[in-house]
Amino acid sequence: MSAKYSVSPILPLLLVLALPWVAAPASAGWGDALKAAGDAGAKAAGLSVTPTQIEGAFRELLSMGADSAVESLSQDGGFSKLAATSLSLPDSYQKVAETVAPDLLANLNSAAEAAVPAIGELFQKTIKTMEFANPSGLLSGKSDAVTSYFEESARSSLAENAAPLIQSALEKTGAGSAVSAVQKLSTLTGTDFDPVSYLTGKTLDSMFLYMAKTEQGVRSGDIAVTSELLKKVF
């Protein structure tokens, strides 16, 4: 969906871009220049939304998406609802696991579901302090541009902080036996499988998937919003 910029006279726009404090590196795009100009510059250029409003809307959008992800994934069977979020074992584990560890996959699902609310809190804390280098570019970008930017910027730190939560969830959901089963299966099949690393990556993938779906729905109008800011920006 394109950004809601009103058609403005060219003179105010040129005056804003000519101001010394708007100056940006030659490689910077219009979005960076607009951010540098600030709210006053955007208003002087006749734009209908300011950088502050755009960033505020992005945070609301991401927060809304994270809430949706937590609500869906934390339910019993939450990861099994979609093929893209469904958990699985390495191919070499499949048949052996039926005999050696028939409850392994169920235990992994339970652990992932249990960890999601705490991981959701990590997402919300990160969203609150998120910086957007090119807000106008993201606003006029792809249908999941904001979510993609968030993932690229924050995934590494989110993974680092989510791993202990996954580990704790594994220990609390009877997966101590699951980890033991994994070790057995690794020995039998010769295939290493780290349940903490796997569940951390899969949980983050699933969170971002639901967040992208939310962003796409808001941009297209398929998801109704009550926030005046989201209505104004999107």
Q: What is the pLDDT of residue 37?
A: 61
pLDDT per position as a tens digit, 30-42: 455 556 567 665 6
Please give the model's pTM, rounded to 2 decimal places: 0.82
Q: Give the lowest-confidence range in 113-122, 140-149, 184-193, 206-215.
A: 184-193
Q: Note whether 211 and 146 are within 8 A (CB).
A: no
Pick from 67, 55, 93: which is nearest to 184 by CA? 93
Q: What is the pLDDT of residue 136?
A: 83
Within 10 angstroms of residue 23's Cβ, the number of other Cβ atoms is 12
Give, rounded to a whole angstrom, the gap between the first and last alpha carbons of the chain.
7
pLDDT band at 173 (very low <50, low <70, confident <90, very high): confident
pLDDT per position as a tens digit, 54-84: 999 999 999 999 999 999 999 999 999 999 9
Q: What does the mean pLDDT of the chain come to?
A: 84
